[in-house]
Chain A
Amino acid sequence: MSALMIRNLHKSYGSLEILAGINLEAKTGEFVALVGPSGCGKSTLLAMIAGLETVTSGEIWIGDRLVNSVRPKDRDIAMVFQSYALYPTMTVRQNITFGMESRGVPKAAQAEAVQRVAALLQIEQLLKRKPGQLSGGQRQRVAMGRALVRDPKLFLFDEPLSNLDAKLRVDMRTEIKKLHHRVGKTTVYVTHDQVEAMTLASRIAVMNQGSVQQFDTPKRIYDRPTNMFVAGFMGSPAMNFIPARLTGSTSISVRAADGSDASLALAAPMSAGAPKDVVLGIRPEHIYRFTTDLKSRKPAVASMQAPVELVEPTGAETLAVLRLGDLEITGRFEPDDAPVMGETITLGIDMSRACLFDPTTKALL
């Protein structure tokens, strides 16, 4: 059974269409991430699931209930907001119990639930403090505590980590993942950070301009992006897009730096209906320095020459900007084996990992 099912959901403000026919599903216990650039409608979608925005048309099912016109408090959900939305005048304990208090849960049960959640999130020593006296990470924890104490069917997170500094964000990300493993609640998590989506989710819905571009596992989304938007959005540094021409069913040619055409053999033959002009999508980490050893390990490697324009060491890896025709591509190298600026290296491109796109429809071929 799925905990959340969304069918052909539309949302518009007057003539402005925010969501154009969303179909989405989360199985019980699943962690679904909604990811996309700002303005893609992901937060609106979450607010509609929560019942904070009205539905223009379509259906939202939570469990086996159609909740289109059910009030937020009766939807059996809990939400963590981007701003945390902790009640500033209440103590942490009151923040956590406010919902139970509103529902008339007996005091003893409230105390017990607070104890359980506080222990789970290690915030026992903070219960008497007010939100203003907490650090960003602690507020984050309290906000999660307020959601957890409800024991809801569905957890909603609206960019919960975007107000934290970089280091804390990574820590809290790990903690959310651990928490999800322990609690096992169905979760819908909105983020604009594709790394967060990749690390946390069991399935990712990549959204753009009010529609879901691809809804799949992180690995599938990363390896076989369904179109150029998904390919470019997921992964950092972004996938390189290289215009290429199909020269047969198993080879393409690209323009090299010196203006000559370099031929690259495809790992699998193209179908006959494919267009002549294609876009070769290759991720930076699938570009290597060509060696015979590499060729024996990865038989699908194709080689070509490229001058190195710029080298960016980041410590764990070294990014190199390489010239290819009139465009620049990025390659990711081992720091010990990194090219130097001005060098012309022989690239080994792992064609088994390459994606080919149709330049007009932008779709994966």
Chain B
Amino acid sequence: MSTHDLIVPAAAAAARPWRERLGTMVPILVLAPSIAASFIYVFVFTFWTLYISLSNSSLLPTYGFVGLDNYASLWANRRWNIAYTNLFLFSGFYIVGSMAVGLLLAIAIDQRVRGEAVWRTIFLYPLAVSFIVTGTVWSWLYNPVDGIQAFVRGLGWTDFSFALTANRNTAIYAVIITGIWQSSGFAMALFLAGLRSVDPDLVKAAQIDGASVFRTYRRVILPTIAPIFLAVAVIQIQFAIKTFDLVAALTRGGPGVSTTFPAIYVYDLMFQRGQIGEGAAAAMMMLAAVAVVLVPYSLWIVWRRRAEGRNG
């Protein structure tokens, strides 16, 4: 390097640091509002909720520390236990069910069917409908008096019985079926995109290797799109845990308390019964349910990125 490069005119020397400083400031300035918002709404409120869950708050937040009393009374409540069980039951069936249905639909469409775009739109349409509308319409369908049961009986099968929502043991399955109907199209869209991204030569190679269609999917194609399974599952899990409006419209938590969900329970405690402390404790339990799934997932992502970095 020549010494000429180091001698900078005085004016330029003064101007450059200012411009450079502005240059480095711009990203910070642009990002600051969203960083501040997400910090406040996620972390501050999470910790505030955590604190309230340990306080004796009732109708309004108060800050008398009561330890884990709210959690104890929460878990002593039968309705909360049903709600928490429902959450896992629903999440399990809903995620596995919508992924299975979505995958089958995607594979069916991937066979180069005629009018593919039409099928895709039809299957994806439920996602465009809000949970409230879905819940309302399906509550009519499940209604024994004027739903599917009444229709089939009208056709002549007078013994036909289809009244899932009327029975406290089966009502949760009505919610699950409706949930699967709503979101299997979404799973299908993601799976279909994945299937389309698979190198067609792989399928040809498997064909020459003598693998059946089933075997080709099971051993070659589906393992290739494994990351998509994960993405679909993670998105569905947070759908499942937030479940509120679907149940509110479909069964209103009934019959009895059989389809109560944690989100409904939290809403009830906080805004109907004025027990903010216990409501906050229930909300923390929901957070725990999400964390059980998402923390291992994000750790796995980090681990995989490191592993890939090592392999170059």
Measured CB to CB, the residues of A under 8 A from B are 47, 50-52, 71-73, 77-79, 81-83, 85, 87-90, 98-99, 102-103, 132-133, 146
Which residue on A lies nearest to B203, using beta carbons?
A85
**Inter-subunit contact A102/B201 (CB<8 Å):** no
In the bound complex, how far is the Cα of B202 from the Cα of A73, in angstroms?
A: 14
Interfacial chain A residues near B311, Cβ < 8 Å: 132-133
**Inter-subunit contact A85/B219 (CB<8 Å):** no
**Inter-subunit contact B204/A52 (CB<8 Å):** yes
Interfacial chain A residues near B209, Cβ < 8 Å: 73, 98-99, 102, 146
B67 part of interface (Cβ distance < 8 Å)? no
User: A89: which of B207, B211, B226 is its contact (CB, 8 Å)?
Assistant: B226
**Inter-subunit contact B202/A85 (CB<8 Å):** yes
Interfacial chain B residues near A72, Cβ < 8 Å: 204, 207-208
B116 nearest CB across to chain A (Å): 19
Interfacial chain A residues near B212, Cβ < 8 Å: 102
B210 part of interface (Cβ distance < 8 Å)? yes
B223 part of interface (Cβ distance < 8 Å)? yes
**Beyond A79-B204, A90-B219, 15 additional pairs, beta carbon < 8 A:** A51-B207, A51-B208, A72-B208, A78-B208, A81-B201, A83-B199, A83-B201, A85-B201, A85-B204, A87-B220, A88-B224, A98-B209, A98-B220, A133-B311, A146-B205
User: A102: which of B199, B211, B223, B226 is its contact (CB, 8 Å)?
Assistant: B211
In the bound complex, how far is the Cα of B202 from the Cα of A233, in angstroms?
A: 32
In the bound complex, how far is the Cα of B207 from the Cα of A85, in angstroms?
A: 12
Interfacial chain A residues near B206, Cβ < 8 Å: 87, 98
Most chain-B CB neighbours within 10 Å: which of A51, A85, A88, A99? A85
If A98-B219, A133-B311 touch, does A87 touch B202 (CB 8 Å cutoff)? yes
Interfacial chain B residues near A102, Cβ < 8 Å: 209-212, 215
Interface class of chain B by DSSP: helix
In the bound complex, how far is the Cα of B205 from the Cα of A77, in angstroms?
A: 11
If A83-B201, A85-B201, A87-B219 touch, does A98 touch B208 (CB 8 Å cutoff)? no
Which residue on A lies nearest to B207, using beta carbons?
A72
**Inter-subunit contact A50/B208 (CB<8 Å):** yes
In the bound complex, how far is the Cα of B204 from the Cα of A78, in angstroms?
A: 11
Interfacial chain B residues near A77, Cβ < 8 Å: 208
Interfacial chain B residues near A132, Cβ < 8 Å: 311
B3 nearest CB across to chain A (Å): 41
7 closest A-B pairs by beta carbon, nearest first, are A73-B210, A99-B209, A85-B201, A89-B223, A85-B205, A102-B211, A102-B210
Interfacial chain A residues near B210, Cβ < 8 Å: 73, 99, 102-103
Sample (15) of A-B pairs whose CB atoms are under 8 Å apart? A50-B204, A52-B208, A73-B210, A73-B211, A81-B201, A81-B205, A85-B199, A85-B205, A87-B220, A88-B223, A88-B224, A90-B223, A98-B209, A99-B211, A102-B209
Interfacial chain B residues near A50, Cβ < 8 Å: 204, 208
A302 nearest CB across to chain B (Å): 52
In the bound complex, how far is the Cα of B205 from the Cα of A102, in angstroms?
A: 12
Interfacial chain B residues near A103, Cβ < 8 Å: 210
Contact with A along B176-214 (1 / 0, CB 8 A): 000000000000000000000001011011111111100
Interfacial chain A residues near B204, Cβ < 8 Å: 47, 50, 52, 72, 79, 81, 85
Interfacial chain B residues near A89, Cβ < 8 Å: 220, 223-224, 226
A95 nearest CB across to chain B (Å): 9
Interfacial chain B residues near A71, Cβ < 8 Å: 207
In the bound complex, how far is the Cα of B224 from the Cα of A244, in angstroms?
A: 61
B211 nearest CB across to chain A (Å): 4
Which residues of B, 206-251, contact A by the 8 Å Cβ criterion? 206-212, 215, 219-220, 223-224, 226
In the bound complex, how far is the Cα of B220 from the Cα of A187, in angstroms?
A: 27
B189 nearest CB across to chain A (Å): 23
**Inter-subunit contact B224/A79 (CB<8 Å):** no
In the bound complex, how far is the Cα of B200 from the Cα of A83, in angstroms?
A: 10
In the bound complex, how far is the Cα of B125 from the Cα of A44, in angstroms?
A: 39
If A81-B201, A82-B201, A85-B199 touch, does A52 touch B207 (CB 8 Å cutoff)? yes
**Inter-subunit contact A73/B215 (CB<8 Å):** no
In the bound complex, how far is the Cα of B209 from the Cα of A90, in angstroms?
A: 14
Which residue on B lies nearest to A80, using beta carbons?
B205
In the bound complex, how far is the Cα of B211 from the Cα of A90, in angstroms?
A: 15
In the bound complex, how far is the Cα of B233 from the Cα of A23, in angstroms?
A: 54
**Inter-subunit contact B226/A79 (CB<8 Å):** no
B104 nearest CB across to chain A (Å): 21
In the bound complex, how far is the Cα of B213 from the Cα of A71, in angstroms?
A: 13
In the bound complex, how far is the Cα of B226 from the Cα of A343, in angstroms?
A: 67
